[in-house]
Structure 1
């Protein structure tokens, strides 16, 4: 038996009037999910423990079977693992986003958060911008490290964890009241605007009608993480397939391998087929027992408040990942269990994560059961299956 988690990040949501009271998932054309759901276990699972912030970090730890209340030490440290940044016990890692702030005022505090991802800036452009910031703002005890796209990090030696606000939580709002209380971090963010706003890359982006990456934004601080080995915990040899440093970092911390997929970028136009192929190769040819396929696009479209694009992302996951995965396993005559779910909702109306329970389907190619007609939030809620401890859902995937 082979095992797969297909994690469609932020896929769940809330009813939208323009969709006739349906969610983006319910309104999307998802024939593969619907076909599997008809003979699968379908229900709801709370992937974010009560009282914890509904981030992709806590939620994906839950999906992987790690109770966030035990294992979570902050988001940025998990990303540090992914890009090979060594952390001491006294170090603090902080996520450093490249963001787009409004430019109509002169005071930094009066600017608005327009885009938490600077138009999903390319890693190539971002590297040059972070190097410019690093040249001006790096000092003893504060190290900048390049990540992927808009996601980078600042390592504080002998640091302390301070409360920092995620930029995707304040889209459209004036940033002044959300700046770090720590003066040094606050000053670095302000100075970064002077460095980046006039940078040739950003001038070119503006000329092309793209959002400039005109500031850095710190959030997600935490200390060095320690995860138990996934192989020792589950008995399954696993591989992670994701374009996002957070997921790669969780995999690294858990001792899992990470597949490199050319063209995978965490955006709407990622290499969906490449992710499906990487999973099939790992499971059929390379002897892996478990593949975790993570697709970021629905979450990104939810943050941007784009209804049609979020539906398109969900449909791409269905047709360009899940369909190919199922067909490939059937052609290889491999028995498989597939768990399809989001980590958390990213409702269009709020443009950020919520802690609502998420719908899941658990399909077993060797067993048919009474499922539901159409996979979505409502049908999942109507089954009566509801898991309050989402980190235990993976036990159902691996159950004998």
Structure 2
């Protein structure tokens, strides 16, 4: 048996008046996902356990079969693993967003989805100007970067994700609590360094949002994972443009596949991801394919972009992998789901249960679900499940 777990990050949504009170999944054209739902089994999954914030780190760990209550230590350490940044026992990794602040308010949590090349120059400048014996900056992808603080600096600081406070006054959400003043000062110091940087002056000239501040959040120490193959008896690989997901794969001992042109946005290399998934299944039992684009569109509050992202996910990821599975001599199990909702009306994540569908090519036992969306799956036979139980359900289903 081969397994394909296909994640459309943030696909789930609330009914939208402009779409006739349909959700994005109900309004989008998604024949491949609808086929999987209609020919398989469906239900709702709780990807965010009680007591945890509805982040992609928590949700995707759960889907991959790692209970956050056991394994979670913070978002940034997972990203550090993907970036090859080793953490000592008393190191604290922080996610470092490049953001746009305008008139004192957070205008854009991604600085206009700044390019990785531009961002690298800015992060290296910040490292030159602001790093100390206790703190360093590391460049990542687009707006997503890393700060590593030493000697447990910031381990207990209270931070807010910038995508949760778009349009809000930055001053009211600066880091607080123990070491909060230090990291608030670091953010303010970054503004001085970045304001007149040539990269930003050029972006302003081109009508783009400047990356005129950093934002630190999502910190934690290095976690300790049990290897995926030890937990589930399967070899696995992960495909994503996002360091967070790659880091989960690193700690899980899965092969992390780099796909050229994978951006984490609407212009990502969908075909490359689908082809890489099909290829790696020649030598691995399971592939976990993550697409960030629907989530980014949700954070932007764009109905049109989210519809496009969901339809692209269906036609350019799900459809070719489904076609390959149907034609294969070996049986396949395909699981499709978002990791959490990112409603366009809220522009942030919620903890609502998400729809999921499981289809096996060697078994015809549909449960009467007609389409893949938040409402249709409520009639599914799998009911409401804990997401961290999903992986065990997949690999142990005989």
Q: TM-score, normalised by structure 1?
A: 0.96
The answer for the alignment partner of 1:14 in structure 2 is 14
Q: Over residues 337-377 of structure 1, what are the superposed CA-to-partner deviations in whole Å (9 max), with x where a residue is unaligned?
A: 00000110000111000000000000111111224111100
| Match 2:158 to one of 153, 158, 163 | 163
CA distance in 2, matches of 1:217, 1:367: 49
Aligned counterpart, 2:129: 136
SS at match of 2:146: strand
Partners of 1:269 and 1:41 lie apart in 2 by: 31
Distance 1:395 1:269 in 2: 33
Write the distance in 2 (CA, Å) between the matches of 1:51 and 1:268: 32
CA distance in 1, matches of 2:53, 2:211: 26
Q: Determine the C-alpha separation between the residues in 1 that align with 2:346 and 2:43.
A: 24
Contact 2:41/2:381 (<8 A) preserved: no
Residue pairs, 1:79-94, within 5 angstroms? 79-94=79-94
**Quick check: 1:380 aligned with 2:373?**
no
What is the aligned counterpart of 2:312 among 305, 313, 316? 316
1:390 alignment counterpart: 387
Question: Structure 2 matches for 1:212-223, cutoff 5 A?
Answer: 212-223=210-221
Unaligned runs of 5+ residues in structure 1 are 105-110
Aligned equivalent of 2:244: 246
Tell me the distance in 2 between the aligned counterparts of 1:187 and 1:177: 14
What residue in structure 2 maps to residue 107 of structure 1?
Answer: none
Render the CA deviation track for 1:31-70: whole Å, top value 9, x for unaligned: 1111111111111000000121000000000000000011
Q: Which position in structure 1 is the counterpart of 2:44?
A: 44
Counterpart in the other structure of 1:193: 191
The number of equivalent residue pairs is 391
Alignment correspondent of 1:346: 342
Asked if 1:124 is matched to 2:117, the reply is yes
Query: In the alignment, what sits opposite 1:179?
Result: 174
**Distance in 2 separating the partners of 1:42 and 1:209:** 45
The one of 360, 379, 386 equivalent to 1:364 is 360
User: 1:388 Cα shift?
Assistant: 4.3
In 2, the alpha carbon distance for the partners of 1:216 and 1:96 equals 6
Query: Is contact 1:345–1:353 with CA below 8 Å preserved after alignment?
Result: yes
C-alpha displacement of 1:332: 3.6
* Residue 289 (structure 2) aligns with: 293
Deviations 1:192-223 (A, max 9, x none): 11111211111111222211111000000111
Q: Tell me which of 291, 300, 305 is aligned to 1:304.
A: 300
Tell me, yes or no, if the aligned pair for 2:9 and 2:293 is still in contact at 8 Å.
Answer: yes
Report which stretch shifted further, 61-70 or 380-389.
380-389
| Inter-partner Cα distance in structure 1 for 2:183 and 2:262 | 32
SS state at 2:281 partner: helix
**CA RMSD in angstroms, aligned pairs only:** 1.1
TM (norm. structure 2) is 0.96
Instruction: Name the CA distance, whole Å, in 2 between partners of 1:147 and 1:61.
Output: 21
* Structure 2 residue matching 1:38: 3-state secondary structure: helix
1:172, distance to aligned residue in structure 2 (A) = 0.8
